[in-house]
Chain A
Amino acid sequence: MKLLRLAPENTKFGFMRFRRVSYPLSATLSIISVLLFLFVGMNFGIDFAGGTQVDVRAKSGEAHIAEIRAKAESLGLGPVEVQQIGSNSDVLLKLNVQPGGDAGQQTAIAKLREAFANDYEFRSVDAVGPTVSAELVQSGTLGVVVAIIAVLTYLWFRFEWQFAVGAIIGTMHDLLLTVGFFCVTQLEFNQTSIAAILTIVGYSLNETVVVLDRIREVMRKYKRLSTAEIIDMSVNAVLPRTIMTATTVFLALLALFFLGGHVIRSFSAAMIWGIFVATYSSIFICSPMLIYMGVRADAPERTKEKDADATSADTKVKA
């Protein structure tokens, strides 16, 4: 049987040369992302902005968007976002956070029910008051920060500090570009988006670790090669695996995006984007950092004596 190979065998791409392109490119994209975040902003869902969101389905026939909008706007609940989701009979209504504190949201739900309960089935109702949304923002931000610190601490223990720095920069890059993705697409940013971001961080570091692991190994074996040559050699060696894994994850996410329903579509979209960005950054951003930070082949041996035996280094973990 002829087996499928997406990645060519024994490649010798000069990945490190691309850093002259990839660094300015990534820097530009990162800056654009920050600017977009500051001046355009993300489309915060009610988890973080507070407000009320109901998902209704017409009891018979199609939902009449214009009619719903007119009726909802006449309720005096401020601007109403009306949006078709899925089939013709499903509509999502979104209200901004209502004045009058937490009790204000409750009045809004009661009014919506009164206005639409006759013709529409209420498939879901979400109301998040200003107190809770503020807390969710806090815990979400804290979660992302703590996760990054925890993972980097682990890397710092397992690798040399230069590797950890490379990983930090790569992770930040992925984080910024994901934020930029949310700004550009205006996909709703909610609690599952935080989950997506943390998974992207996890995936990105996973990719980085695989490349760094190999760099460390090659570095010990070929002490005479330049850092750039070592990195190129390592990236080429793990390239088939990188492409293979990115593809399997991409296939699973693709199924999730198209078939998983509208509730998690923005989550799947962000993850798909994240897979690409993470794969790119592990090769073109993290690894070249080592060139600048002057990691030398003998550095590991000086800092971590017991890892000195290069060939047995990997088996030791198992013992």
Chain B
Amino acid sequence: MLRFATWKLASVLALVAAAILLVMPSFLPAETVDTLAAKLPGFIPLRQIVLGLDLQGGAYMLMQVDDASVIKSQAEALRDDVRQKMRDGKIALSGGIVTQPRGVLVRIADPAERQKAYELLQSMSQPIGGPLAGGNGRSLEVTQTDAGVQLTLTDAAIADKVRHAVTQSIEVLNRRINAMGTKETVIQQQGVNRVLIEVPGLQDTTKLKEIIGQTAKLDFQLVADPGDPPNEVETLPMQKGGGTIQVQKRIMVDGEDLVDAQQSFDQQTGEPDVTFRFNLRGGQKFGQVTSENVGRPFAIVLDGKVISAPVIRSPITGGTGQITGNFTLDEASSLAILLRAGALPAKLTVVEERTVGPGLGQDSIDAGKRAAYVGGILVIIYMIATYGIFGIFADLALAVHILLIFASMVLLGATLTLPGIAGIVFTIGMAVDSNVLIYERIREESHLGRSVISALDAGFKRAFATIVDSNVTMFVAALILYLFGSGAVRGFAVSLGLGIITSIVTAVTMTRMMIALWYRRVRPSRLPI
């Protein structure tokens, strides 16, 4: 009991010193930490504890890629591909192509022609995924029916496209949100088809949702002539002022070939507009279309809504152009961001949103601090009142315990949330349990007539097994909570779990050393508890 190596004492003291160094920056203003970091050598970790969005304020959004819209756009792309393939294979499309929810039906009445088409279209199905992928490992299921040839997207193909859409969405969102000029934004994949966005400090998500909620697919379509066949014409709503306009279904040029878009001002009216620039291919296409259609109105369509339909005055061959549309300055700059960042491959829906203003966050920090201080002081007083000098030892261990929780959170980069603070307050009450177990055992052993030193020894030894057993159960609960919990609740699990580990170290090892040092100095004839 009394003997412990000096190096053990030294390492405990070193641990405490290291913990103080780790925790200190979190209590200094951010600017001070920055200036200190610039002066001190790099190996000294000057990190502040990471506060959760519920404490520092900010917006959290969980977006889901709309599977249905991925499937729909895939089915449409398939239709175009099939049409091209049939044209290349010189098979007449007698009955046309019908788009279905998950594929297309090529209507061919003549069995011989149908067989030809079937053989041709089978080559469109490509192997997909590894041997573990679902379905038959192909991208398409091609079957022959009485009506024609049926092409259906397989589950594996759809899963693949959704996965692809998610990664692509993350790239696009990154570009869009960075253009907004927010700091420390987190954009990451969650599960199979979700994207998580965290923007610290953001309060009103309206603007954010405008930026991330739009697909931003830009198309240029000619406004329909009265003479156009009706099945090649569609009616689209105008983006502003209601009303509709008839345009040709065929997309002449699309936004995929855009390389740049900037907010600018119309040279004649001075109104905000957006100047865009195409790459070589897009520029050529755009030049060709505008040359062939001088004098006709050209509709600029964003996500199925017509922004404006200016008349082509002269061929635009330089690869750049302007979009006007009675924009406000804000609208024009948002549109420029959207066009620059590119279109989202699929529609994203917000499935969960949580925003905390900085006011509430600060209030929560203050409330948490108050609860921690008051709770801590109550426990400290109670421990001293019950165990006297031993209570002081336990309280010192408790202080180190809290210090170590914070230090390990800084070290691990764990996030402190409001439930996390609650967890720390709870462990303040719980951490002394180990001390209580030890002290009560010491008392019991002493009542049995043991000498002071033997009672101390037996108390520590006998209580240890119980301490381990009882803390393991609590730790398992914290671990499971971390694995299955989400968001702020994980913060609770982290501080509870760390608190259990540090409390064993402090309550057992540190108290033991303190009591041993005290015993050597005082040599008491009877126990003070």
A interface list, Cβ under 8 A from B: 1, 3-6, 9-10, 55, 57, 101-103, 105-106, 109-110, 113, 121-129, 131-132, 136, 139-140, 142-143, 146-147, 150-151, 154-155, 158, 191-192, 194-195, 198-199, 201-203, 205-207, 209-210, 213-214, 217, 237-238, 240-241, 244-245, 247-256, 258-261, 263-264, 267-268, 271, 313-318
Contacts and interface: CB of A to CB of B under 8 A. Distances in A.
Contacts of B203: 122
A194 B482 CA distance: 12
Contact of A202 (B359, B447, B473): B473
A195 B371 contact: no
Contacts of B357: 121-124
Q: Interface extent on B, as a size class?
A: 35 or more
B382 A154 contact: no
Nearest to A5: B386
Given A154-B476, A192-B488, A241-B440, A261 B378 contact: no
11 contacts: A55-B360, A57-B359, A154-B476, A191-B487, A195-B492, A210-B466, A213-B466, A271-B426, A313-B465, A314-B465, A318-B461
Interface in B41-74: 54, 62, 64
A63 to B, nearest CB: 15
A213 B359 CA distance: 48
A264 B491 CA distance: 13
A210 B437 contact: yes
B529 interface: yes
A124 B429 contact: no
Please name the 9 residue pairs, one residue from A and one from B, whose CB atoms are nearest each other, closest first. A143-B484, A252-B429, A202-B477, A255-B375, A261-B367, A249-B429, A147-B480, A252-B375, A205-B473
A195 B205 contact: no
Interface stretch (B4-12, B159-167, B307-315, B347-355): B347-355
B354 A143 contact: no
Contacts of B466: 209-210, 213-214, 314
A304 to B, nearest CB: 14
Nearest to B436: A244
Interface in B476-494: 476-481, 483-489, 492-493
Nearest to A136: B486
Contacts of A126: 353-355
A316 B464 CA distance: 10
A140 B375 contact: no
B440 A143 contact: no
A317 B359 contact: no
Interface string B453-477: 0000000011011101111111011
A245 B379 CA distance: 10
B345 interface: no
A213 B465 CA distance: 8
Interface string B395-424: 000000000000000000000001101100
Name which of A199, A210, A248 has the most chain B CB atoms within 10 A of its CB.
Answer: A248
